[in-house]
Amino acid sequence: MESIKEAASDFLAHNRIAVTGVSRNPGSHGSNVVYDRLRSRGHEVFAVNPNADEVEGDPCYHDLDSIPGGVEAVVIGTRPELAEATVRDCERLGIRDVWMHRGPGPGSVSADATAYGREHGMRVIDGGCPLMFDPTADFGHKCMRGVLKLTGAVPRRV
């Protein structure tokens, strides 16, 4: 296992990142914040939502298979019960880095999805948020990371 900081650095070194659970209503979901921040920091980001063709003026893909040229990493921002299917899709597509988003609430973390991914040689970050780590972090997210590490919502090792 490696530290969350090392795993986050490796994850954020990827350029092509999909974010699942991006909403058509930008203010309604944390996935949109992750999507926007990654895009503004220069990543090539792909929104994934099976019920949307467009999100925030960008094309939205119904599933990971639909993204032209594929991606290197995936942020899961859906309900936890959907996470395992997404991790299985990632494994099938050869995507080795997955981050299940979790802030103060229950987030997207699934123990079954985590176990499946790790059993199949994937790096699975099971909690926290990519915006809590440099180079995408802001002061508020860094503070939240410190507090949520104490509660276990941000893992220390992955």
State whether the Cα torsion 70-29-84-7 is positive or negative: positive
Domain ranges of the chain: 4-150
Report whether pLDDT(36) > 90: yes
Residue 28 pLDDT: 62
At residue 105 the predicted structure's pLDDT band, cuts being 50, 70 and 90, is confident
Task: Please give the pLDDT value at position 25.
Answer: 82
Number of other residues whose CB lies within 10 A of the CB of residue 112? 12
The average confidence (pLDDT) of the chain is 94
Q: 4-150 has which CATH code?
A: 3.40.50.720
Which residue would you say has higher pLDDT here, 150 or 25? Answer: 150
Asked if the peptide bond before residue 135 counts as cis, ω within 30 degrees of 0, the response is: yes
Query: What region does 67 belong to: left with phi over 0, alpha with psi -120 to 50, or beta?
Result: beta
Say whether pLDDT at 26 is over 90: no
